[in-house]
Amino acid sequence: MSLPRLWAVARKEIVQLRRDARSLYLAFILPLILLVLFAYAITYDIRNIEMAVLDHSLTSESRSLVDAFESSGYFTVVTHLTRYDEADAVLGGGHARLVLVIGPSFALDLAARRRTPVQLLLDGADANSATIAQNYAEAIVAGYSADILLEGRQLQIPAAAESRVWFNETLESRNMIVPGLVAVIMSIIAAMLTALTIAREWERGTMEQLAATPVHRLEVVLGKLVPYAGIGLFDVALAATVAVVLFGVPLRGNLLLLVLLTLLFLIGALGLGIFISAAVKSQLLATQVALMSTFLPALLLSGFIFSIATMPFVLRAISYIVPARYYVTVTRGIFLKGVGVDVLWADATAMVIFAAAGLSLAMGVFKKEIA
């Protein structure tokens, strides 16, 4: 192992990178684009749900129920219907996702202290949004009913749950998504970055010449890894800045811990990329393998979108070998919860193992030999 030689390989890699627009794009532009795109696209928060109202009652009571919907901030009344069959057209055409139907006897029933049903028609094509809209709507109707019951009275409710949400107080789904997103994006980018490096040397015929020098395999692997680790750290720093500044995500934990664990994660992911590159010796194939082996697992099995706890046993078992799983926990933990090594030690250990595995795989398969 000679540091000057390692540094020579790293410097060469940096010069080549600087002159290669495609790699620069991959290293610096793509992560940002992905971050912003995904952060805006993936959101579980539903606001301004378009709704239609079919009010057969047309009384001040029915209007105040509609007002309760509108003033909640979750619903926007886009149209008032006059006939029941219009609901079908409105929902089918996608003009509204919810129709509130108020019966003609609404005000009379209320005055007589009778139960009076209101009907909610929901567009279930997007089951997720429909469920959320339904929950919101039921909560609004329940609140409205309670107001009527309590009108002019004092009621003591014996036990009431007073919930307070920690770590993501406003239950802003973006707060949950962005830190995880940083982890998912870096899994993909890191492997893609180094997937090109060794394969490119084989394809361009430069490996044969390099192999005929006394440079050690470890010097080549680390020399190629170092510049990309720097870029990866820069990317994460940039993404964190965007997360905090643009998306208002809180960053509560220890920055140094984040940097350290990120570095471990990057070593593993970059090593994996080198491993793939050295194994397949073709840039095109290496890129595809890197993408396939990181993108889907990182997206689906990291707990980023779907909670791992609710997965079937087999998927849960597989998720343990998806490095992004640990890194998602780390970024969320440090960004939102501000937790330290006392909580993240298991994930940190997994990162160390991952880093060692990535490097060993790369070293195991990269040979200074032809054929």
Partner 1 sequence: MESAVSVRGLTRHFGEIHAVDGLSFEVTPGELFGIVGPDGAGKTTTLRMLAGVLRPTSGDAVVQGVSVVRDPEGVKHHIAYMSQRFGLYSDLTVRENIDFYADLFLVPRKARAARLERLYQFSGLGPFESRLAGQLSGGMKQKLGLCCALIHEPQIMLLDEPTFGVDPISRRDLWLIVHEMVARGITAVVSTAYLDEAERCDRLALLHRGALLALDTPTAFQQRLAGHIQSLRSDAPRRARDLLEQHPAVRHAVLFGDVIHLTLDDPRHDWPAVRAALEHGGVTILEAGPAEPSLEDVFIHLVGPGGVTHE
Beta carbons of 82 and 57 less than 8 angstroms apart: no
Return d(Cα 351, Cα 346) in angstroms, integer: 9
Distance in angstroms (rounded) separating the CA atoms of residues 135 and 130: 9
d(CA 230, CA 21): 18
Give 56 or 368: the residue with its C-beta nearer to partner 1.
368
How far, in Å, CA of 289 to CA of 287, rounded? 6
Integer Cα distance of 351 and 237 in angstroms: 19
Residue carrying structure tokens 């050295």: 278
Helix axes 283-300, 255-280, angle to 10 degrees: 140
User: Three-state DSSP class for 252?
Assistant: coil
Nearest approach, Cβ of 267 to partner 1 (angstroms)?
23
Q: What is the identity of the amino acid at 316?
A: R
- Bridge partners (DSSP) listed for residue 80: 53
- In the bound state with partner 1, the residue whose beta carbon lies nearer, of 120 and 365, is 365
Give least dist CB 45 to partner 1, A: 47
Q: Which is nearer to partner 1, 8 or 311 (CB)?
A: 8
Q: Least distance from C-beta 224 to partner 1, angstroms?
A: 13
CB atoms within 10 A of CB 268: 27
Task: List residues near partner 1 by CB under 8 A.
Answer: 2, 4-5, 7-9, 11-12, 15-16, 19-20, 204-216, 368-371
Alpha helices by DSSP H, listed for 50-172, are 60-71, 86-92, 106-111, 127-150
Q: How far is the CB of 230 from partner 1 (least distance, A)?
A: 19
Q: How far is the CB of 370 from partner 1 (least distance, A)?
A: 5
Q: Choose between 58 and 212: whose C-beta lies nearer to partner 1.
A: 212
Strands in 212-341 per DSSP E = none
SS3 state of residue 49: strand
Nearer to partner 1, 231 or 351 (CB): 231
Minimum distance, C-beta of residue 175 to partner 1, in the bound complex (Å): 43
Give the nearer residue to partner 1 in terms of CB position, either 88 or 208: 208
Which residue's CB is nearer to partner 1, number 15 or number 29? Answer: 15
CB of 367 to partner 1, least distance (A): 9
